[in-house]
Structure 1
Amino acid sequence: MDGVFDQSASALFSLPPELRNEIWRYLLIHTSSPSPSSNAIDRKISYHPSSPGAGQPHIYANILRTCKQAYTEATPILYGENTFNAHPSLLATLPSFLLSTLPVRLVRPPVTHPRVARLIRKFSLHVRLDTDPRFSSAQAEESFNGVEELEIEVFQAMYGSCDFSVLGLFEGVRGVGRAVVRGSVGDGRYAGWLARSMMCPPGEKPLGFAADGLGGGREGRDVWRDGNR
């Protein structure tokens, strides 16, 4: 990376920047099947390049090592346009490259360099409802305010054993371009409301869940109050 070579004779770098960016996207963006969720609400149109092999990762990150110009141009695409798995407690501080969520969640080793971690704009997070959360609402807001995409996959060991209190930690998140809350979400009303809330502009306070005409509160039993019996 330290060596500087003249790229003026390169056929690749003689192409227009817009065309080179399409090449970087083809090499560096991993596409996965969209979430089958009615709670996904889009405000932005994302780029989804076609995959040469359905479901097969085709990330060629070594292209970043070929020269400084390739690194400079392609790094924001690799980190900014792929989806990363947020850490269960550190959230956006220690994300991992997400290969798939279904049928199992597959990830690469975590990103440890803050400089490139700051480029990440799309996150997926696996949240358990029936265990103590390992992060605060302030951490959730700091990590996810203004991101391009946030998908929260909700899980509980026994259906109906607890309420959605853990998801309340995300009620202060704002400015998300595309929000999805899916999984063990009951009838989906609170999940849909939460997704809409997270996509509200910064500083806007939407109607509360009860005031939004969706019900009297979050569904289910409170496992911490009632016991998991």
Structure 2
Amino acid sequence: MPQPSQPSLLTIPLELRMLIYKELLIYPPLARQAQRQSRSIHPAILVVCVQTHDEAAPVLYGENVFHAHPAALTAQPRLEPWFPPVVELPSLSSSSSSSSTASSGSSTLAAYTRIRRWKVQVNLDFAPDYTRDDVTAAFAGAGELELAVCRGFSAVRYKYLTSLSREL
């Protein structure tokens, strides 16, 4: 009599796997939005196997809002401005020789093109380091682009600002 196979992540229905991926990969985690507990994601699930990567990568890159770098735009996406940049983990289907090139940038670039939701902070006190064409090219595949406009001098007294403008 054949023994039943051991249950694994890939033996459960896709709908349930998608719920697991969302819990692991959406920032802040869905179950903890109201609670102020640990706010971390677990992208290591992407390297479990090729099928898991193919199923879970759209959740990570399609449902999270990534913060664009103020000067480099989409070159260094982050889940929060103070987080380190997101780096694509090498795929299991890559050979050992290509995994070193994947971690050096080409795989990371492919991950950036899958990001659909962006947030950009624009400081009105300084001229941007990019042109309109740079912005158009950087966010061409975006489904959502949120602009957060700020001014650094909003807390400065009016008297100081008028004296500063006279000097200029």
TM more than 0.5: yes
Q: Which residue of 2 aligns with 1:18?
A: 15
| Number of the residue aligned with 2:83 | 107
Tell me the equivalent position of 1:131.
Answer: 126
Q: Look up the match of 1:89.
A: 71
- What is the alpha-carbon distance in structure 2 between the residues aligned to residue 122 and residue 142 of structure 1? 15
User: Is contact 1:28–1:59 with CA below 8 Å preserved after alignment?
Assistant: yes
- Could you tell me how far apart the structure 2 residues matched to 1:23 and 1:155 are? 37
C-alpha spacing 1:228/1:72, structure 2 compared with 1 (3 Å) = farther
- Contact 1:122/1:148 (CA < 8 Å) preserved in 2? yes
Pick from 74, 79, 86: which aligns with 1:98? 79
Deviation at 1:153, TM superposition (A): 1.6
Normalising by the residue count of structure 1, what TM-score does the alignment of the two structures yield? 0.51
**How far apart are 1:25 and its partner, in Å?**
0.6
Q: Tell me the SS of whatever aligns to 2:36.
A: coil
SS at match of 2:79: strand
With the length of structure 2 as denominator, give the TM-score of the two structures.
0.67
Supply the AA of the counterpart residue of 1:68.
Answer: V
- Larger radius of gyration between Structure 1 and Structure 2: 2
3-state SS of paired residue (1:134): coil
Deviation at 1:145, TM superposition (A): 4.1
Q: How many angstroms does 1:54 deviate by? A: 2.6
Match of 1:58 in 2: 40
Identity of aligned residues (%): 31
Question: In the superposition, relative to structure 1, how do residues 14 and 31 fare at CA in structure 2: closer, same or farther (>3 Å)?
Answer: same
Q: CA 1:13 to 1:87, structure 2 compared with 1: closer, same or farther past 3 Å? A: same
Q: Find the residue that maps to 1:139 and give its secondary structure.
A: helix
Unaligned runs of 5+ in 2: 88-104, 157-163
Q: Gapped runs of 5+ residues in structure 1?
A: 1-7, 33-48, 100-104, 162-222
Deviations 1:41-81 (CA, angstroms, capped at 9, x unpaired): xxxxxxxx332743631301111222222122112211221
By how many angstroms is 1:146 displaced?
Answer: 5.3
Letter in 2 for 1:139: D
Residues 85, 107 of structure 1: 8 Å contact kept: no
Name the residue aligned to 2:102: none
CA contact (8 A) 2:113 2:141 kept: no
Return closer, same or farther for 1:9/1:148 CA change in 2, 3 Å cut-off.
farther
Structure 1 vs Structure 2 CA RMSD: 2.9
Q: Which structure carries more helix by proportion? A: 2
